[in-house]
Each structure stands twice: as C-alpha cells, then as structure tokens.
A and B are shown apart, each in its own frame.
Chain A
Amino acid sequence: MSAHGLSGPGLRLDRLPRRRRMNHVMEALSWLSAAVAIAILGIVVWSVASKGWSELNLDLLTKAPIPFSLTNAPQGLANAFAGTLVIVGLATAMALPVGILVAVYLNEFAPASIRTGVGLALDVLAGVPAIVVGIFVYVLLVVHHGGQSALKGAFALAILMLPFIARATIEVLALVPNSLREASLGLGVPQWRTTLSIVLPRATGGIVTGTVLAVARVAGETAPLLFTSSIVGTQVHWGPTQALQTIPVAIFELSESPDPKDHARAWAAGFILLLFILFASLTARWLATRSARKLAGR
C-alpha cells in the first residue's frame, strides 16, 4: 500500500517546525469542524424550541385549525396530529411485513447472485428522492383513480421505509449464529419453522431498531404527502379512506402564511415533531447497541 508523500524529502527533520505547525492548523480545523456541526444542530434546535414555545400548549393538540379566523378563538393542529398517527401507523403496517420477508428471503434462501441483485435494488430504492415517490404514487393511485386518501399517502411513506427496514433486518439476521439454525434443523424442525420461531425472534432487536429509525425518517416527510393527502378538512378524522392532514404538510403550509400566529403554530408543531424524531432516533441507537451486545455476548 503506497503511502503518498511519506518517503524521502517529505519527512525532513529541518522542516519539522513547519510540519508541526501544519499539523496544528489541521487539527484545529478538525476541532472547528466538529464545533461548527454541533453548533448548527444547536442553533436549529434552539430556534425551533424558542420560537415554538409561545404556542406550545394543549390547544395545539386538541383544537382544530380555524383558517381566516375573524375571532380570537383558540385553535390548534389536532387534525394534523391525528392524521400523522394514522398515516405513519399504516405505513409501518405496510412496510414492516414486506421488509422482513424480503430480508428473510435474501438471508435464508437466496443464492448469491439474487442477493446482490435485490440488495442493489434496495439501495437504489433508498436513493429515489421522496418527491419522485410522491409523483409515482400520484400517477399510480391518485389521478383518475378517485383522488387522495390517507391510505395512498401511507403507501408512499411505506415505499420510503422499506429499504431501511429490509437492510436493518438483513444485517441482524446475518448476525444470528449459523449453529442455531443447524441445531434446530438437526432436531427435525422444518426450515420455515426454524426461520420464524428460532431465527426471527433473535433478530427482533435489530428489526425494532430498523423500524424505529424508518418511522423517524418518514414522520417528518412532506413531499409524498403533498401529492396524496393534502386536500383536507379541519376536523379530526381517523378514517384512512379520505385525505388526512399531517404535521409536516401543516408546517409547510403554515410556513408560507403571512400571519405570525401561523408561524408560531408551525414552530410549535415542529418542536413536537422534532422531539418525537429525536427521541425515536436515540431510542433506536440505544436499542441497537443493546441488541448488538446481546447477540455478541451469547
């Protein structure tokens, strides 16, 4: 392995002070980069928290929005919170079984060539921009097919979640020791039973982690929902056959409004969304380290 610039004249001792200075400069820049990255995160979170604070109250979760309100009646974003729960829940219900099945197939049954091919397809799918997924579902299911609905929005989000869940499940299935499978098969348990009752339960931790990360990813996703669930009413609904308002779409629309009170509500809803996503990401990370330790420790 050739190392550039490490031979001969590059390491001259008489240049040592200059080389040391260069090293210090680079190390300082590296520290600075980390500081900047953390500062950016801090600034964004601080802005969201401080600007949303004034509108952060129970009304936000329990009252419906009143566009063009001529009175000062209390309003909130109850319909958006309900809609987000429904749509993200349905998306998870759609993506989870498919993701697990794909991972099971790739890890337990597929020959190498198929594994590479499907794995590549999953990685490519992960790189499709969310707005293109929105166009796809719009052309496939919305236009000429009865209009928008929460189910169609959930389908779009499920497409975004699928690669995350599949990849996480593949990685954790690969970590389950082969000896377990062999022992089970040696005892006469059929392969399908082995996979479902022996292997998958060991992988639960990783599956949950992958799912939580996928949920965190799509809970804040706006673009696909603009196409599938944006012509909505102000009341709270739980039925998935009509279009439901969601928090990211509500924030998007409120951010373009000229009314400062709308902005404050957008910040407040954003704060709650951010808290949820941060909590989910950190939980997933904690779960991941815990299950990795468990699998390695046995």
Chain B
Amino acid sequence: MSAADLSAEPTRRPFTGRRVRFGDVSLQVVAGAAAFGATLLVGLIVWKVVEGSRLSLSTFGLGFITRAEWNPTVGHEVYGAGSFIFGTLLTSSLALLLATPLALGVALFLTELAPRVVQAPITALVETLAAVPSVLIGLWGIYVLGPTLRSQIEPWLHSAFGFIPLFGNPSSAGASVFTAVIVLAIMILPIVSSISRELFRGVPPELKEGALALGTTRWEMVRGVVFPYARGGIAAALILGLGRAMGEAIAVTQVIGGTPTIQWNLFASGDTLASKIAASYQGAPSNLFSSSLVYLGLILLVLSLLANITAQWIVRSVARKHGVTRGGRA
C-alpha cells in the first residue's frame, strides 16, 4: 500500500444507493448508541451533581459561593465555598507558575538541545512522572517532602522573605499550602511539558532554519520563532494543566492540612474544593453537610469544564490556523 493511500480523513461509505444490509444498520445503530451515550455522559454527570447538591442549593443559594464559613455545629449549620475556592485558585495558579518554566525548559531541551540518542529515553522518563499515582505522590509528600520543607526550606524562606505575606510563620504541623503547591506542580509538569514538546516539534523547520540563517542565536530563534508559533498551543497546555491542578483531590488532601481559611501564608495549612470533598465525604454527619460537599463538587466541575472547554477551543482554533488535523504527526 502506498503512502498516498493513508488519508488523514476517516472513511466514508464509498458507494451510495447500495442495498442496505441488516448487519450494517445494526452495527451503525449499536455504535451510534455508544457514541450518543458517551456524549450524554457529560450531561448526565452535570445533572446528577446538580441533583445531589439540590438541598444545599436551595438552602444557601448562590451566596454559598462567596461565603467563607464552614460550620457543621448541629443546630447552627452554615456552609460556604469561599475559602475552598480561594484555596483551589491559590494552589493551582502557584503550581502552574512553578511548573511552567520547568515544563517549557524540558520541552525545549527535548526538541532543540538533546542529542538524538537521549531524546526517547528522557521523553519516556518525563512522561513516566505522569504515571505515578496521586496517592503515592501524596504519601511521598507527607513523609518526605513535607518534613523537609517544614524543617529546612520554610524557616529559611520565612527568615529571608518574611516581609512578603506569602512567607509567613511556618506552621508546626508540617501540612501546608506550600507542600500542596509543590506536589501539584510535580503532577502537572508532565502534561504541560508533553503538550509543549509536541507543539515545538510541530514548528516548521524552514521557519527555524530561516531565523538561524539570519544569524540569531538558538535562544533568539526560540524566542522569536518557536514561542510565537506555538503560543496558542502553549496557552491551551497551561490551561489544561491548571484544570488538572484544580481537580486533584487525593495528593492535596494528604498534605494540605484541611483548615478552611482565607489567608495568604503559604506555610500555614489550608484547603481546596477537591481536597475538602475527599477528606469529608465519608464523615458527612447530616444531609445538608453532604449536599454542601456535592455543591463544592459542582463548583469544581464548572471550573474544570471552563478550563477544559477553553483549552479545547484554543487548540481547535490554533489547529485551523496552522492547517494540521488534530493528532496528526506533522
């Protein structure tokens, strides 16, 4: 079979007006039902999550989103998502801030600098980091990373930069927002790096060689050709990484300490939407409590969907601009 037979477009039925067979119809119906079901699944998820949060929705309404109180005292139950939304946004954006330069650096290394023979193994190694389960990274965070941060890094940062409210007094318990930020950064590094690597690989070589021929250094070429070309895709990668960080429940709940407050000290304990759900779902002492947890899940779902859809939209518009089909090897 010649290469020209490989089409990027999926097949169509080549003969029209052919006699329709029962087998064809059944396959199409069954497969179509599967596709339909898969599409409906997202809607079903949204619907069921809304249904589960109905009690809390009707009790607290939209004010839940901004209220920073979470008081389960029997008889005075008041719940609100404010501190958790704050924690989610704080930890995810800081994690992204930490992970992005590293991820871009790795992607650049693999596409521009690495000798061909080490490209494949190092790519495999970086992507292996994505395969480590979050519960293991959390376990490592509790017993290896957390104590190291608490005994050495946090006191040093506090003494050196204590005037910045982010670097306040280290908490004695070892669980802190800072540990959670680093754990999250480790978890989103492989995603951002592998998407960026694909993007950098997709830059047309003639553009890069043209710049080099003009006498630019390699860094100037990257800055002037590669980054602008891949700009949209990198934005999508960052947003996908942000979405992943916002949704991470297990590793965060293991290291963050579970204290819902709105405060900027990274070295104190905190809480996020996902981590609160993971920590408290089992121990819900009342229907309003568990409904409020599902309400937190609804907010998390909305945030993740927003991030995901934005990233998809960017990817598709960039792909249209550059004329490559999704998933095609350039």
Contact = CB atoms under 8 A, between A and B. Distances in A.
A and B touch in the complex (CB under 8 A): yes
Contacts of B246: 129
A131 B274 contact: yes
- Say what secondary structure dominates the interface of chain A: helix
A98 B113 contact: no
Contacts of A252: 135, 138, 250, 254
Given A40-B129, A178-B7, A255 B135 contact: yes
A226 B42 CA distance: 21
Nearest to A25: B219
Contacts of B31: 101-102, 104-105, 108-109
Contacts of B311: 127
A219 interface: yes
Interface in A167-195: 171, 173-175, 177-182, 185, 190-193, 195
A41 B135 CA distance: 15
Contacts of A138: 52, 281
B240 A127 contact: yes
Q: How large is the interface on A (under 10, 10 to 19, 20 to 34, 35 or more residues)?
A: 35 or more
A105 B277 contact: no
Given A273-B133, A278-B128, A124 B300 contact: no
Interface stretch (B22-30, B60-68, B71-79): B22-30
A78 interface: no
B125 A98 contact: no
A295 to B, nearest CB: 9
Contacts of B1: 177, 179-180, 298
A73 interface: no
B70 interface: no
B173 interface: no
Given A101-B35, A219-B133, A223-B249, A3 B225 contact: yes
A130 interface: yes
Interface residues of B, number: 111
Interface in A203-221: 216-217, 219-221
A97 to B, nearest CB: 8
A173 B143 CA distance: 45
A37 B10 contact: no
Given A174-B8, A177-B6, A3 B21 contact: no
Interface in A1-51: 1-6, 10-11, 19-20, 22-23, 26-27, 29-34, 36-38, 40-41, 43-45, 47-48, 51
Given A48-B136, A136-B49, 10 more contacts: A30-B108, A30-B109, A43-B144, A106-B35, A118-B38, A124-B42, A128-B42, A136-B44, A216-B131, A281-B131
16 contacts: A26-B222, A27-B219, A33-B102, A34-B106, A48-B139, A105-B35, A109-B28, A128-B42, A134-B281, A162-B41, A178-B7, A222-B135, A248-B133, A251-B136, A251-B139, A281-B128
